[in-house]
A and B are shown apart, each in its own frame.
Chain A
């Protein structure tokens, strides 16, 4: 099971991390891998820190990714990228939206939102891609398409042709949101640094 690859998707409940994992899962299954995806439903979806695990390879046993095991972290929010850093392998890749969403302890003033998270992450032994995914999503026509913008960036770091991702979007996304999402996927080119 040494060839198993691990992608951690993290964000704030309600940001659409589940769709992202569904799209990745679809691409991987079509490519013939054994795949396990572990999702979060229920209470933590209500604006809390959420994490979805995607694992693929010849044969996958556990559906969970443990500390120090992730090859890639796809983060929808900067604080969440920082929170899950311990899950990344040394030298691993973090793709993160540079968006800031204040958690309740920051809103109530109990704690401060840490400054310069992107800079602090860059100083680690990792590869980091930070991007303004929200602007690209808005440009595509829907702020909720942040997830597909991030998928568009992830696609550049994985070995599948763009068509494989576009087919997945077509298969997974409801028809009325399809065009916005295909556009968001294409706009990923414009935001990756």
Chain B
């Protein structure tokens, strides 16, 4: 069969299919999202978006205990949310194989931190495989299930942005349709209370020893001998960078399993080369192991702990070779990501900006509301932290600038872990304003369905969470709904809430402008006779707007007809009535 050019995540999904996986439950998060999206295209596997990663992993654990191969996929910070079940399913072990895919984001292309999920493997004492290409993504998924069942353990599959989001050639095979492993009631194994968990912990420690022994001779931990002048111990994408930079000028110990690590194999490799480097992005994980077993390596003394690596970094650090480059001697304005033209979040952040409120932010496209000119977020920590963070502000100082603190959170993030914070707000009577941006989709990760949208991952109609009823049920009395395209109305609603003296929820409801189901209006235009060039309309920060001339009194506002979707959020800002058009298409 012809090789296919598959995205790493697509290859993971193919591996899940070929391994006979039966149940997949995940929460979207860049760079892991496409694993589950591609998996959902196969009819032979049950696939779902769960409300959060903890729920997702628990679903997969249930399926494993019931005797099926199961998978849960998430981004690195998602594994923190799922850490609770992870650390204990390590004790129970599995029935059907259980694999957890976790995608790190070195360089933070789309994340709030750069944590190294290998530390969770050590913490949970769960083996972790790390592929270096799309082919290995597919192969390692299958191997992970075999190891899971052989060693009675969940297995972590560690990916990173440049593995998940790179395409390379893959050989595919047929699905290995598997039956159900018989379930036998075994409370010593599956009910983790102290009396049962103690012997299970002993079993876990023995398993780590057994897996470390397996690692010594595993096919996925390989020595490639070329020049003995330089030796490199590496894994995953760092292996590819090292190969690119050093080629046959170095020998390699490529580790396909990063936890537990082999000891004798590393010593053997070290004895064959003159100068030994460990090349690994983020933490000094392999390096620490090497030093612990008495192998002297050069690692983070030379290479950074922060950010992504690349071939030129390795060339420079090891070979001292620098690349010459060309550049223009004129300042180039940066182009940070922005909310799209027509984004329904824009008006809400404009309102926050005008009201001068403290805004506790959250994770999603709307985190971009922190950037100029809206500049309307004060803090952003993790999924769900907006609601509880505003609660903390309320308990610490009450009002800020005479107004209640605001939490802003998207629909999917609210379901993920915002609702628990809101329960706390009601229960412990904090005075906050929670603004839920209900855009009918999970936006940032590229349009995934969620429990509020009324559709499953495969587009089947299903129950939809009624946000108003949910907020009411947890004990919030003041609930208002606003259409963010009605900018004056939205400003008024939020103003009333933040100037009040009670906990409230404002639901800003308008579908994401990028949804295919959304009908746009004709682009807006500027009446140049009326436009005074005052730039007030630019304060809303829409990428479709700009000044036509660079500077000077004659500059007029310009609306790019290729970007503008006629949302009209800028119209009410113009006192001169210069923004016209936006007719129904």
Contacts and interface: CB of A to CB of B under 8 A. Distances in A.
Contacts of A120: 328, 330
A41 to B, nearest CB: 6
Interface string B338-379: 111000000000000000000000000101100111000000
A67 B325 contact: yes
B323 A67 contact: yes
A158 interface: no
Interface in A27-63: 29, 34-49, 60-63
Interface stretch (B29-37, B470-478, B494-502): B29-37
Interface string A88-101: 10100000000001
Contacts of B243: 61-62
Interface in B487-507: none
A61 B312 contact: no
A13 B372 CA distance: 18
A46 B328 CA distance: 26
Contact of B110 (A41, A101, A110): A41
Contacts of A102: 543, 546
Contact of A47 (B30, B446, B543): B543
B562 A108 contact: no
Contact of B550 (A14, A34, A62, A112): A112
Contacts of B194: none
B372 A104 contact: yes
B172 to A, nearest CB: 14
B335 A86 contact: no
B562 A143 contact: yes
A98 B372 CA distance: 27
Contacts of A108: 372-373, 538, 541
B545 interface: yes
Contacts of B445: 42
Interface stretch (B162-170, B381-389, B411-419): B162-170
B538 A113 contact: no
A114 interface: yes
Contact of A63 (B162, B325, B326, B339): B162
Q: With a 10 A CB-CB cut-off, give which of B33, B165, B367, B560 has the most chain A CB atoms.
A: B165
Nearest to A80: B335
A1 B310 CA distance: 16
B442 to A, nearest CB: 12
Given A25-B167, A44-B110, A67-B323, A104 B338 contact: yes
Contacts of A112: 333, 550
A79 B324 CA distance: 21
A94 to B, nearest CB: 11
Nearest to B339: A46
A83 B167 CA distance: 25
A192 interface: no
B444 A43 contact: yes
- Interface residues of B, dominant DSSP: loop
Contact of A29 (B3, B31, B33, B371): B3
Interface in A133-147: 134, 143
Contacts of B365: 43, 46
B240 interface: yes
Contact of B310 (A62, A117, A121): A62
Given A36-B167, A37-B166, A109-B535, A86 B327 contact: yes
Contacts of A12: 335
B332 interface: yes
What is the size category of the interface that chain B forms with chain A? 35 or more
Contacts of B157: none
Contact of B323 (A26, A37, A69, A107): A69
B395 interface: no
A42 B363 CA distance: 12
Contacts of A80: 335
B169 A44 contact: no
Contacts of B5: 25-26, 29, 35, 37
B459 interface: no
Contacts of A61: 240-241, 243-244
A10 B555 CA distance: 30
A37 B168 CA distance: 7
Contacts of B547: 109
A66 B323 contact: yes
B7 interface: yes
B311 A114 contact: no
Contact of A38 (B166, B247, B367, B545): B166
A68 B560 contact: no
A64 B562 contact: no
Given A35-B5, A36-B166, A44 B310 contact: no
Contacts of A110: 333, 372
A99 to B, nearest CB: 9
B239 to A, nearest CB: 8
Given A61-B244, A104-B371, A104-B543, A13 B337 contact: yes
B574 to A, nearest CB: 16
B334 interface: yes
A64 B311 contact: yes
A108 B165 CA distance: 33
A51 to B, nearest CB: 11
Interface of B: 3-5, 7, 30-31, 33-34, 109-110, 162, 165-169, 237, 240-241, 243-244, 247, 310-312, 323-328, 330-340, 365, 367-368, 371-373, 444-446, 535, 538, 541-543, 545-547, 550, 560, 562-563
7 contacts: A25-B5, A43-B368, A101-B560, A103-B335, A107-B373, A110-B372, A111-B331
Given A43-B365, A66-B312, 20 more contacts: A12-B335, A34-B168, A39-B7, A44-B110, A47-B337, A48-B336, A61-B241, A62-B240, A64-B310, A69-B323, A83-B335, A86-B325, A87-B325, A101-B543, A104-B335, A105-B336, A107-B541, A110-B372, A112-B550, A120-B330
A-B residue pairs, 5 tightest by C-beta: A42-B110, A42-B30, A48-B337, A63-B166, A103-B335
